[in-house]
């Protein structure tokens, strides 16, 4: 039975829970059991709330599911469905570490807006997933508590920074997960683990209670096995929030209703700048085949140009660290988290931060502080903000006569642990196709589109600002005509 339950999508779980064929405690127990068996090798979770999750499940069963009349319409959207949450989103009373020693053991006194919305929707929070420290990285190797492994090949990385969420969903340790994406941190691990990962438009989902990395870029989004589950989860978390002044005050459509298997007339642009040296041949092949499939379904695929694509990486690695250096100033050993012992205040600050932060976080704080410091601000930070305008204009121009942009999510499939971790520039290159989309604030999804040597390949679809529906519809259409999403990693666990 356990094997069956953890194979179901959230949409299928909901149907069975509504009909009373299974109960929420059974569902949660099945997932907890799979976590017990498989997570010791994967290390997708930093914290599993064994008792809390079962308690929540019993409550939802008694107070919500048992009282409904077997009809789905009476139920909150995620009643009894387990969700894993990336450990940079605040969960009241449950440890939230950002995979950093500086926050080890911290229990937030409040829930992030997305967590509040999950609870209100009846979801059961299973635990908190691993990430690169403060979401800075592309492999989850920068976690202060040890890396996560890719369920498709335990010697390889799951991508990052939401590598724990991606691995958990791919391995069937959770049907749904939340990730956060600043330069690709939802989409790239989704690609490397063979699942669906969606970064909505900047401002679509509240950032209140998401521990800040780069505030002009950070965005929370769903990580799931199917596009339908993705739409259901987005419905729950999206919407205006007065506590995040950058959250968009726009009505949210029912994203699940956008899912029609239909691509006729869809105008898809394919940026020629993506198909250059460094792109793995199998990835190139799979992405071009995806374009062919859309064409065969009646879409109009044309080559486009994003002339400043090549400048996105240096632009991002100035803007994001600059914002991070300011956001991470709050870790000073005073209000929460770790404090080093020292006789005076300055030394206490500097030593707390030396002992609490890992190397990548220090590197980015240094880089950002340098880019913002007197004498360099104009040459670096301001220059980057101007190039950001040029990159955004490239996309604006492309969307004048296209509805969607199709490109690879990541230039390669999952790479071996340890291969890039000592070379920051090599690691940064993982995000060359996701970063431009982040800089422009656009919605981008990664969906499975093939395999190379048994490792998943991701296809990225990008839409206009606040047009998540077109992105989801195209992703759904692709999924309905392919079987990649059905493949499961070769794990035991029953």
Partner 1 sequence: MAIDDRTVEHVARLSRLELTPEERELFREQLSRILEYFSKLNELDTSGVPPTSHVVPMSNVFREDVVTPSLEREEVLGEAPDQEEGYFKVPRVFEEF
Question: What is the binding site for partner 1 (CB under 8 A)?
Answer: 106-110, 202-203, 216, 242, 245-246, 248-249, 308, 310-311, 314-315, 317-318, 325, 329, 332-339, 342-351, 353-354, 357, 359, 362-363, 365-367, 369-370, 373, 380, 382-390, 392, 424-425, 439-441, 465
Q: Which is nearer to partner 1, 123 or 312 (CB)?
A: 312
> Strand runs (DSSP E) across 23-101, as ranges?
45-48, 82-86
Rounded Cα–Cα distance for residues 197 and 190 (Å): 5
Burial class from Cβ neighbours inside 10 Å (0-12, 13-18, 19+) for residue 335 reads exposed
Please, what is the minimum distance in Å from the beta carbon of residue 485 to partner 1? Answer: 30
Please, what is the minimum distance in Å from the beta carbon of residue 210 to partner 1? Answer: 16
User: Cα 414 to chain center, whole Å?
Assistant: 16
Please, what is the minimum distance in Å from the beta carbon of residue 310 to partner 1? Answer: 8
Beta bridge partners of 222: 178
Q: Which is nearer to partner 1, 311 or 451 (CB)?
A: 311
Q: Which is nearer to partner 1, 55 or 342 (CB)?
A: 342
Q: Which is nearer to partner 1, 29 or 332 (CB)?
A: 332
Q: Which is nearer to partner 1, 50 or 311 (CB)?
A: 311
Rounded Cα–Cα distance for residues 80 and 320 (Å): 37
Helices (H), 76-182: 113-120, 163-170
- The H helix count followed by the E strand count for the chain is 16, 11
- State the catalytic residue, choosing from 9, 86, 138, 162: 86
State yes or no: is 161 an active-site residue. yes
Rounded to 5°, angle at Cα 476 from 181 and 446: 25
* Residue whose C-alpha is closest to residue 207's, from 437, 441, 370: 441
Q: Which is nearer to partner 1, 66 or 379 (CB)?
A: 379
- The string over 346-367, giving b where at least 16 C-beta atoms fall within 10 Å of a residue's C-beta and e elsewhere, is eebbeebbeebbbebbeebbeb
- The string over 283-311, giving b where at least 16 C-beta atoms fall within 10 Å of a residue's C-beta and e elsewhere, is bbebbeebbebbeebebebeebebebbeb
Helices (H), 143-226: 163-170, 187-193
Please, what is the minimum distance in Å from the beta carbon of residue 423 to partner 1? Answer: 9
Rounded Cα–Cα distance for residues 432 and 426 (Å): 11
The strand pair at 267-271 and 219-224 is best described as: unpaired
Please, what is the minimum distance in Å from the beta carbon of residue 204 to partner 1? Answer: 10
Helices (H), 201-357: 227-237, 281-296, 312-327, 345-356
Q: Which is nearer to partner 1, 346 or 490 (CB)?
A: 346
- State the catalytic residue, choosing from 161, 165, 180, 228: 161
Please, what is the minimum distance in Å from the beta carbon of residue 309 to partner 1? Answer: 12
State yes or no: is 420 an active-site residue. no
Query: Is the preceding omega at residue 357 within 30 degrees of 0, hence cis?
Result: no
Please, what is the minimum distance in Å from the beta carbon of residue 168 to partner 1? Answer: 27
The answer to whether 194 touches 489, Cβ cutoff 8 Å, is yes
Q: Which is nearer to partner 1, 46 or 322 (CB)?
A: 322
Burial class from Cβ neighbours inside 10 Å (0-12, 13-18, 19+) for residue 95 reads middle
Q: Which is nearer to partner 1, 48 or 427 (CB)?
A: 427
User: Cα 362 to chain center, whole Å?
Assistant: 23
- State the catalytic residue, choosing from 143, 180, 185, 206: 185
Please, what is the minimum distance in Å from the beta carbon of residue 319 to partner 1? Answer: 9
The strand pair at 45-48 and 124-129 is best described as: antiparallel
Please, what is the minimum distance in Å from the beta carbon of residue 213 to partner 1? Answer: 16
Catalytic residue IDs:
86, 161, 185
């Amino acid at each position: 039975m356990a094997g069956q339950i953890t194979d179901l999508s959230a949409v299928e779980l909901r149907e069975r829970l509504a009909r009373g064929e299974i109960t929420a405690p059974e569902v949660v127990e099945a997932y907890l059991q799979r976590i017990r068996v498989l997570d010791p090798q994967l290390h997708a979770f930093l914290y599993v709330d064994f008792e809390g999750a079962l308690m929540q499940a019993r409550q939802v069963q008694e107070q919500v599911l048992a009282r409904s009349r077997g009809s789905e319409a009476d139920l909150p959207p995620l009643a009894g469905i387990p969700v894993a949450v990336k450990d940079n989103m605040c969960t009241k009373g449950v440890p939230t570490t950002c995979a950093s020693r500086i926050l080890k053991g911290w229990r937030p006194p409040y829930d992030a807006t997305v967590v509040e919305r999950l609870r209100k929707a009846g979801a059961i929070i299973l635990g908190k997933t691993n990430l690169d420290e403060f979401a800075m990285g592309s492999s989850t190797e920068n976690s202060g508590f040890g890396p996560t492994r890719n369920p498709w090949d335990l010697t390889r990385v799951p991508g990052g920074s939401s590598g724990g969420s991606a691995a958990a969903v791919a391995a069937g340790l959770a049907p749904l997960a939340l990730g956060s994406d600043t330069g690709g941190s939802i989409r790239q691990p989704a690609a490397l683990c063979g699942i669906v990962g969606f970064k909505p438009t900047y401002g679509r989902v509240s950032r209140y209670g998401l521990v800040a990395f780069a505030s002009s870029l950070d965005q929370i989004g769903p990580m799931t096995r199917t596009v339908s589950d993705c739409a259901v989860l987005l419905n729950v978390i999206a919407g205006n929030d007065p506590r995040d002044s950058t959250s968009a005050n726009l009505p949210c459509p029912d994203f699940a209703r956008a899912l029609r298997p239909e691509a006729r007339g869809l105008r898809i642009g394919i940026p020629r700048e993506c198909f250059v040296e460094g792109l793995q041949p199998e990835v190139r092949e799979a992405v071009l085949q995806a374009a062919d499939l859309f064409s065969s379904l009646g879409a109009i695929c044309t080559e486009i140009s994003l002339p400043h694509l090549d400048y996105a990486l240096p632009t991002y690695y100035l803007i994001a660290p600059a914002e991070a250096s300011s956001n991470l100033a709050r870790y000073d050993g005073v209000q929460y988290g770790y404090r080093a012992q020292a006789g005076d205040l300055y030394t206490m600050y500097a030593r707390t931060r030396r002992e609490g932060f890992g190397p990548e976080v220090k590197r980015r704080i240094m880089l950002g502080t340098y880019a913002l410091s007197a004498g360099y601000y104009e040459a670096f930070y301001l220059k980057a903000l101007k190039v950001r305008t040029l990159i955004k204009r490239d996309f604006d121009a492309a969307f004048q006569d296209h509805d969607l942009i199709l490109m690879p999510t990541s230039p390669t499939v999952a790479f071996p642990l340890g291969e890039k971790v000592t070379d920051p520039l090599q690691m940064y290159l993982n995000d060359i196709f996701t970063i431009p989309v982040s800089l422009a604030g656009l919605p981008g999804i990664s969906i499975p589109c093939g395999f190379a040597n048994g490792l998943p390949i991701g296809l990225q679809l990008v839409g206009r600002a606040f047009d998540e529906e077109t992105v989801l519809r195209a992703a759904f259409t692709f999924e309905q005509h392919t079987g990649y999403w059905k493949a499961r990693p070769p794990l035991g666990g029953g």
